[in-house]
Homo-oligomer: A and B are copies of this chain.
């Protein structure tokens, strides 16, 4: 298991969804960055289920505590340990899931790899683990903003069959928060809400797409050839539970374009060069060029649904799986701060490397 990521800005997460606590240790955050618990809590609150009319009603209130690495509102340069208690960590009623691997869940693969059950270590495959990432990412965001002025904004650009128009470079986090769908286009937001409601009624689930933009980027971030900025972002995004795809700039659509249209011609911009278009997504040759980074992440529909499923148990016998309890029919709105957090972790790590090289 590799729960540590980053070369200089290193993050380690821990905790099963049904254990005592989850948390993270951030090792490598530079000293003298202003930081307090509310900087972190604000992002954690955005990830919390039960926060809106759209999500599951479980009362999963996450309070973060900083255990080390910060004093008098400033980082010390030492490891920052964050702890979030699982308020209600009695063993969950999993129905018959201990005998039947849940389809498209990690139950089967965790048993094959670790020889353990879903209710325990499989809990690392739960979305709960991402709370620790969001907490760590909030620190990376603080560092990036204080030292470089970098701003990261993600939003829901599609869910189910609804897709928002391209939103340009000016979406703000405030706009994103206006609706519970986290889609800043009002008409699409309405459609997405309707589709989530319908999926809930059907005991089914829907997927979606998150778009993310990083503004005020310095040129020069990224470590070719293997740690190109888009390569590191791709790994970070595909490590988020339920993500299925990543594209930078023009992405898959770019594959159908012609070079003469796709090339981002240079223009003079104050004291440096910019580009007329941004099909590159702010990165050329794996290195940021100073234009906004722009990428998308696809998420599958949640695997946990209320509908009965005809599958087999661990012994291969036919079985019908009936999941109990309420389930979240669409996780994309809640995944928005997770995408932002993982983006921040990648950029913080590359930013420290970048300072090195110049």
Contacts and interface: CB of A to CB of B under 8 A. Distances in A.
Interface stretch (A137-145, A169-177, A181-189, A348-356): A348-356
Nearest to A283: B109
A94 interface: no
A289 B264 CA distance: 41
A104 interface: yes
Interface in A122-171: 122-125, 129, 158-161
Interface string A186-230: 000000000000010010111111000000000110111111101
A12 B79 contact: yes
Q: Please state the number of chain copies in the assembly.
A: 4
A114 B121 CA distance: 34
Given A238-B231, A238-B248, A252-B244, A76 B121 contact: yes
Contacts of A235: 226, 231-232, 234-235
Interface in A241-265: 241, 244-252, 254-260, 262-265
Given A273-B314, A355-B356, 18 more contacts: A4-B27, A8-B356, A22-B68, A67-B83, A77-B114, A101-B273, A105-B284, A110-B287, A204-B259, A206-B257, A207-B256, A231-B239, A238-B248, A244-B250, A245-B246, A260-B309, A262-B303, A265-B309
